[in-house]
Chains A and B, each alone.
Chain A
Amino acid sequence: NAGVTQTPKFRILKIGQSMTLQCTQDMNHNYMYWYRQDPGMGLKLIYYSVGAGITDKGEVPNGYNVSRSTTEDFPLRLELAAPSQTSVYFCASSYSIYTANYGYTFGSGTRLTVV
């Protein structure tokens, strides 16, 4: 069982470039999330989705966009990369509306540097 798969694992972008971080899960989870993690700051929610076709903003959505055309895929798009978006990005999924007894399942992360 692959769980949550993120690609790429790391990337360097120039200011103003765009890119898409891919996230796929094979657990048939309805709920998917994108977080960014900065040193000493914990995880901050960027966007989340409660099912195919439904997305909403989290705590730090500016500069990002998402789509959810299928249950499995939840890509995160950076349109005009800025140095402030240098971070580690995690995709996560969960089965129920709440984390139940298993928490989230996280992907392995994407380390993004914007120069």
Chain B
Amino acid sequence: EDKVVQSPLSLVVHEGDTVTLNCSYEVTNFRSLLWYKQEKKAPTFLFMLTSSGIEKKSGRLSSILDKKELFSILNITATQTGDSAIYLCAVEKKTSYDKVIFGPGTSLSVIP
């Protein structure tokens, strides 16, 4: 059975800290891995990763995929209170457009 696992499930850090969120997957016919940020409402898209070892970067956020180890990390440097959110990892399969499997999310709280 396909699955996406995220760790930790929740995390509390102080402003300025650097955090690493983990996502591992067991999915057949992998196509891409996606990261979303979910604040109070809808998830918003952060990154899509398809190739191993190529870092995607957006401001203080970066992410990388290891297709051999079936693993991705999302790094946030110099965290701010505005980074507080649930971070969702999802894996998209090649074979079917109804198959985007979401992980449970990591709830990040950044305290001043």
Chain A residues engaging chain B, CB cutoff 8 angstroms: 4, 31, 33, 35, 40-45, 48, 50, 56, 58, 90, 97-109
- Chain B residues contacting A102 (CB-CB under 8 Å) are 45, 48
B105 touches A90 (CB 8 A): no
- Chain B residues contacting A100 (CB-CB under 8 Å) are 48
Residue among A56, A98, A100 with the highest chain B CB neighbour number at 10 A? A98
Quick one: which of A33, A42, A56 contacts B104, CB cutoff 8 A?
A42
A103 touches B34 (CB 8 A): yes
A50 CA to B98 CA, complexed, in Å: 9
B45 touches A42 (CB 8 A): no
Chain B residues engaging chain A, CB cutoff 8 angstroms: 4, 9, 31-32, 34, 36, 41-45, 48, 88, 90, 92, 97-98, 100-105
A40 touches B104 (CB 8 A): yes
A48 touches B98 (CB 8 A): yes
A107 CA to B43 CA, complexed, in Å: 8
Chain B residue at minimal CB-CB distance from A50: B97
Q: A45-B98, A97-B97, A99-B34 are in contact. Are A106 and B104 (CB under 8 A)?
A: no
A-B Cβ contacts below 8 A, count: 59
Residue among B43, B48, B88 with the highest chain A CB neighbour number at 10 A? B43
Quick one: which of B32, B36, B100 contacts A45, CB cutoff 8 A?
B100
B48 touches A40 (CB 8 A): no
- Chain A residues contacting B48 (CB-CB under 8 Å) are 99-103
Quick one: which of A31, A40, A43, A99 contacts B88, CB cutoff 8 A?
A43
Q: A58-B98, A109-B42 are in contact. Are A40 and B36 (CB under 8 A)?
A: no
- A64 CB → nearest B CB, Å: 15
Quick one: which of A33, A40, A50, A106 contacts B44, CB cutoff 8 A?
A106
6 smallest beta-carbon distances between A and B, as pairs? A103-B45, A106-B42, A42-B102, A43-B102, A108-B41, A42-B104
A103 CA to B32 CA, complexed, in Å: 10
